[in-house]
Amino acid sequence: MAADLTPPVARPAGQTLLDLSVPGRRASSLPACDVPLAPLPAGPLVRQGLRLPEVSEVEVVRYFTRLSTLNYSVETGMYPLGSCTMKYNPKRHEDGARLPGFAWAHPLAPEAASQGVLQVLHELQGYLAEITGMTGVSLAPMAGAHGEFAGILIMRAYHQSRGDTARTKVLVPDSAHGTNPATAAMAGYQVQAIRSDAKGNCDLDDLRNALGPNVAGMMLTQPNTLGLFDTNILEIAAELHRHGAVLYGDGANMNALLGRAKPGAMGFDVMHLNLHKTFSTPHGGGGPGAGPVCVAPHLLPFLPTPVITQDAGGYHLTAPEATIGPMGGFHGNFGVLLRAYAYIRTLGEAGLREVTDNAVLNANYLRSRLAGLYALKYDRPCMHEVVLAGTLQKAKGVNTLAIAKRLIDYGFHPPTIYFPLIVEEALMVEPTETESRENLDAFVAAMQAIAREVEESPEVVRSAPHFTPVGRLDEATAARKPYLRWRPSE
């Protein structure tokens, strides 16, 4: 791939329909109207001087068709955004979720009229319990962070139920996703960071020093956000339990464990899953997710409502005896739950295991092909994602942000960058299992080309992207002061 700076689209970036306007041009050509014109209402109801675009039909069609191609998605190309598991989502799940019996089910319909819906939810609870090795599941939480919040409330309710009210701290590794400390803080806990050791595991000495009667629990991601399996997990669980603390599992990385390893067997007491990551629901635009919370036997009484149970009379919406209550309206994000159900049923146990095997294989393939060109802070086999670092390039004056932006020119969505925080110039690459060998090779070729450009023509990388309507956005301001409607330019 050569560094070609010629934009592939001749049309100027950022053009609006008004820019295309030509006085008198129309998007319709119909016979003269034979309906008498009614007089316009008087006064302020009629706005004068509206600048409406005057364009032909084909211009309107081309304009909106072009707009529709400006967003990148999994359906456009590889989307290796680490930690987000942007896998391809089979279309059959959409068909399943749109079956009229599901799509038209009303959440207030009586139980007797909702038995099919409740059966699906009950079976999904069972599958997720089996997959995670946990005992009970509530499908109520509507995102990963929401599931974390449910889990920490369960942790707190458990300690309170035992009259154990002196626990004020939650431990979180320094590699953790930002939602973990945020969740613990939102639930009223003090957060204490635990160091990672030289291998990228949780540092056991630091953990032992932090543990005491004031620790409510620990939030741990397995494999962690360095893409590494924490090989200290059994000791970590034992240490926490020795101190009466609860081990919370952030299950966002289950794509590395399906059918191969169960958090329940590792000593986790409570965990959440991200159905929109691991279990195949389109996400990334902020659209609906689901973060079921799964617990070991001693935490069953605290699960959020509803939990679906079955007896001789059928399926029921029930409230566990000491429930933390509802997490939102009704039964959770039913459409997302249906897609997960379809995914699990169509793949089966062997298929799910293959998902994990290929996800881990793909990440290690990228790791071995890019090692050397890009730095690797922890040089050991990874799980479903690999955290590279742009430190070699940074030393030559090109930072990781520029590498990420240059990848856009090569047709790839950038990986996650500058996270985890403990890896300088981090490039967190998660290819997922749904990319072919050819796609991985194309990504490697782009990363190689960029590394070469850093040596030979660093300015090309530093000023990327070159072909997008907008280049470097002020993302913080965009998130805090979003423009949610069209505004005429002055």
Ligand X SMILES: *Cc1c(COP(=O)(O)O)cnc(C)c1O
Q: Residue 356 carries which side chain, given as an amino acid letter?
A: T
Cα–Cα separations (whole angstroms), residue 397 to 393, 422, 456: 7, 21, 12
Question: Nearest-CB residue to ligand X?
Answer: 144
Find all residues with CB under 8 Å of 54, minimum gap 6, and list them.
21, 22, 23, 24, 25, 26
Nearer to ligand X, 85 or 323 (CB): 85
Q: How far is the CB of 177 from ligand X (least distance, A)?
A: 4
Query: One symbol per residue from 13 to 52: x for binding ligand X (CB under 6 A), - otherwise; what is it?
Result: ----------------------------------------
Question: Within 13 Å, how many C-alpha atoms sit on residue 272's CB side?
Answer: 33
Nearer to ligand X, 340 or 461 (CB): 340
Q: Decide if residue 273 touches ligand X (CB under 6 A).
A: no
The answer to whether 128 touches 294, Cβ cutoff 8 Å, is yes
Distance CA 7, CA 2 (A): 13
Distance CA 161, CA 216 (A): 13
Nearer to ligand X, 274 or 434 (CB): 274
Residue 318 φ then ψ, to 5°: -130, 160
Nearer to ligand X, 120 or 252 (CB): 252
Distance CA 208, CA 212 (A): 8
Question: 93, 167, 169, 177: which one contacts ligand X (CB under 6 A)?
Answer: 177
User: What is the footprint of ligand X within residues 281-310 (CB under 6 A)?
Assistant: 289, 291
Nearer to ligand X, 145 or 446 (CB): 145
Nearer to ligand X, 273 or 451 (CB): 273
Q: Decide if residue 252 touches ligand X (CB under 6 A).
A: yes
User: What is the footprint of ligand X within residues 53-112 (CB under 6 A)?
Assistant: 83
Nearer to ligand X, 179 or 434 (CB): 179
Q: How far is the CB of 188 from ligand X (least distance, A)?
A: 20
Q: How far is the CB of 145 from ligand X (least distance, A)?
A: 3
Q: Decide if residue 179 touches ligand X (CB under 6 A).
A: yes
Report DSSP letters for 194-208, one per residue: E-B-TTSSB-HHHHH
Q: How far is the CB of 246 from ligand X (least distance, A)?
A: 18
Q: What angle do CA 280, 285, 291 make, to 5 degrees?
A: 45
Distance CA 441, CA 78 (A): 11
Q: Decide if residue 250 touches ligand X (CB under 6 A).
A: yes
Of 179, 268, 180, nearest to 222 by C-alpha is 268
Distance CA 216, CA 240 (A): 9
Q: Decide if residue 221 touches ligand X (CB under 6 A).
A: yes
Question: Within 13 Å, how many C-alpha atoms sit on residue 14's CB side?
Answer: 4
Look-up of token digits 């101190």: 243
Nearer to ligand X, 200 or 289 (CB): 289
Q: How far is the CB of 217 from ligand X (least distance, A)?
A: 16
| Bond preceding residue 420 cis, omega within 30 of 0 | yes
The answer to whether 396 touches 370, Cβ cutoff 8 Å, is no
Q: How far is the CB of 250 from ligand X (least distance, A)?
A: 5
User: What is the footprint of ligand X within residues 360-379 (CB under 6 A)?
Assistant: none
Q: How far is the CB of 143 from ligand X (least distance, A)?
A: 4
Q: Is 12 left (phi over 0), alpha (psi -120 to 50) or beta?
A: beta
Query: One symbol per residue from 123 to 162: x for binding ligand X (CB under 6 A), - otherwise; what is it?
Result: --------------------xxx-----------------
Q: Decide if residue 405 touches ligand X (CB under 6 A).
A: no
Q: How far is the CB of 87 from ligand X (least distance, A)?
A: 13
Q: How far is CA 89 from the centre of its chain?
A: 13
Q: Decide if residue 278 touches ligand X (CB under 6 A).
A: no
Q: Decide if residue 175 touches ligand X (CB under 6 A).
A: no
Residue 445 φ then ψ, to 5°: -60, -40
Q: How far is the CB of 469 from ligand X (least distance, A)?
A: 27
Look-up of token digits 């009704």: 330
Q: Residue 347 carries which side chain, given as an amino acid letter?
A: L
Q: How far is the CB of 396 from ligand X (least distance, A)?
A: 31
Q: Which residues are at the interface with ligand X (CB under 6 A)?
A: 83, 143-145, 177, 179, 221, 225, 250, 252, 274, 289, 291
